[in-house]
């Protein structure tokens, strides 16, 4: 069975960009794959230093995963910090790649440009992500476009290790769906927690309405481009063509249609999410952590032997 792996950072509430770019494809593919979905808490620590928010967000992401349709019996849902082999392998990869190579990271440069502190964790971030993926002999990683380079880093880490210590890691490939590779936010830029331009995935109807109504519509042509760009994640070009043609310049009607389309998808998931307790989420993490650890410890035993530290 093919192996699928992906992760989301518990750095804030998920938005519809996360959903269409990564979560929805992962949920669909997990029906046929041996899937693992991770809560990337140690990645989130590069930016989030609020223990209470971290704790709440971790449980929140587990609920999001299940509400979006993942079956925790079939798919392993776990958190990164429960499997210390991730940070252990990341260290080994850091000893194989160079500083100039890591300096090429777009994500790192973007984060510095946004004014984030250049902590060493942020810098080494791609090697922890490489460890996440490679530990489990992953075949495919569903992600949004912003993670493409991270997959290149993961393949490079695998190749470096294999060349140095012998064939050990499989080179994974990314699965990026073209139509939703970059879901734009309410201002037309990429939807991102850090740009405050998101439509929350599990927001209340009021929050969703507020976010959609705030989409910037000072378009030059006849179409509200920013609304249409978000709407494309929900409906086909053909369906949208008719709606937008019939309501030229009537932005209110178009935005109301988008709110209805968001609600149609979100409302059932929101109800399901509300039915999952913190205790349920903790139970899922415990079970998933045990299953992930069993796999990771086997792989790391081989890695330790290969590098010569097993005596």
The residues of the shown chain that bind ligand TYM, judged by CB under 6 A, are: 5-9, 17-18, 21-22, 40, 43, 129, 132-133, 141, 143-144, 146-147, 150, 180, 182-183, 190-192
The residue annotated as part of the active site, out of 63, 79, 190, 255, is 190
Kindly tell me which of 171 and 247 has the beta carbon lying closer to ligand TYM: 171
The residue annotated as part of the active site, out of 63, 111, 160, 255, is 111
Residues 14/202, Cβ–Cβ less than 8 Å: yes
- Produce one character per residue of 211-233: b if its CB has 16 or more CB atoms within 10 Å, e if not: bbeebebeeeeebbbbbbbbbbb
Residues 135/87, Cβ–Cβ less than 8 Å: no
Residues 188/226, Cβ–Cβ less than 8 Å: yes
Query: Minimum Å distance from CB 298 to ligand TYM?
Result: 19
Could you count the other beta carbons within 10 Å of the beta carbon of residue 52?
7
What are the DSSP calls for 101-116, one per residue?
HHTT-HHHHHHHHTT-
Is-catalytic flag, 111?
Answer: yes
- What CA–CA distance (Å, rounded) separates 34 from 1? 6
- What CA–CA distance (Å, rounded) separates 213 from 88? 46
Instruction: Please give the biggest Cα pair distance in the chain.
Output: 73
- What CA–CA distance (Å, rounded) separates 211 from 199? 6
Is-catalytic flag, 272?
Answer: no
Kindly tell me which of 17 and 288 has the beta carbon lying closer to ligand TYM: 17
Kindly tell me which of 75 and 147 has the beta carbon lying closer to ligand TYM: 147
Is-catalytic flag, 109?
Answer: no
Kindly tell me which of 53 and 247 has the beta carbon lying closer to ligand TYM: 53
Q: Which residue is nearest to ligand TYM (CB)?
A: 21
Query: Minimum Å distance from CB 41 to ligand TYM?
Result: 10
Query: Minimum Å distance from CB 148 to ligand TYM?
Result: 9
Kindly tell me which of 27 and 129 has the beta carbon lying closer to ligand TYM: 129
Query: Minimum Å distance from CB 8 to ligand TYM?
Result: 4
DSSP state of 117: -
The residue annotated as part of the active site, out of 24, 79, 160, 193, is 193
Query: Minimum Å distance from CB 150 to ligand TYM?
Result: 6
Could you count the other beta carbons within 10 Å of the beta carbon of residue 73?
8
The residues that are catalytic are 111, 190, 193
């Amino acid at each position: 069975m093919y192996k699928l792996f992906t992760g989301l950072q518990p750095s804030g509430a998920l938005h519809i960009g996360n959903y269409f770019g990564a979560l929805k494809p992962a949920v669909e593919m997990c029906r046929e794959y041996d899937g693992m979905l991770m809560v990337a808490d140690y990645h989130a620590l590069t930016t989030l230093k609020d223990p209470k928010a971290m704790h709440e967000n971790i449980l929140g992401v587990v609920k999001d995963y299940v509400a979006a349709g993942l079956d925790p019996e079939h798919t392993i849902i776990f958190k990164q910090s429960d499997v210390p082999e991730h940070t252990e392998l990341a260290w080994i990869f850091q000893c194989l790649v160079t500083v100039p190579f890591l300096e090429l990271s777009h994500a790192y440069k973007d984060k510095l440009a946004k004014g984030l502190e250049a902590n060493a964790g942020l810098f080494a971030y791609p090697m922890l992500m490489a460890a996440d993926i490679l530990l489990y002999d992953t075949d495919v990683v569903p992600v949004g476009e912003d993670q493409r380079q991270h997959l290149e880093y993961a393949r490079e880490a695998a190749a470096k290790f294999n060349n140095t210590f012998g064939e050990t890691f499989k080179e994974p490939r990314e699965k990026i769906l073209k139509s939703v590779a970059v879901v734009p936010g309410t201002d037309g830029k990429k939807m991102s927690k850090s740009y405050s331009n998101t439509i929350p995935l599990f927001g209340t109807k009021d929050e969703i309405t507020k976010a959609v109504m705030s989409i910037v519509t000072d378009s030059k042509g006849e179409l509200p481009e920013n609304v249409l760009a978000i709407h494309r994640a929900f409906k086909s070009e053909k369906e949208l063509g008719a709606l937008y043609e019939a309501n030229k310049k009537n932005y209110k009607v178009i935005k109301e249609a988008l709110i209805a389309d968001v609600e149609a998808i979100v409302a059932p998931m929101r109800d399901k999410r509300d039915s999952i307790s913190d205790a349920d989420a903790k139970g899922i993490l415990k079970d998933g952590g045990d299953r992930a650890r069993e796999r990771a410890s086997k792989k790391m035993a081989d890695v330790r032997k290969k590098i010569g530290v097993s005596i």
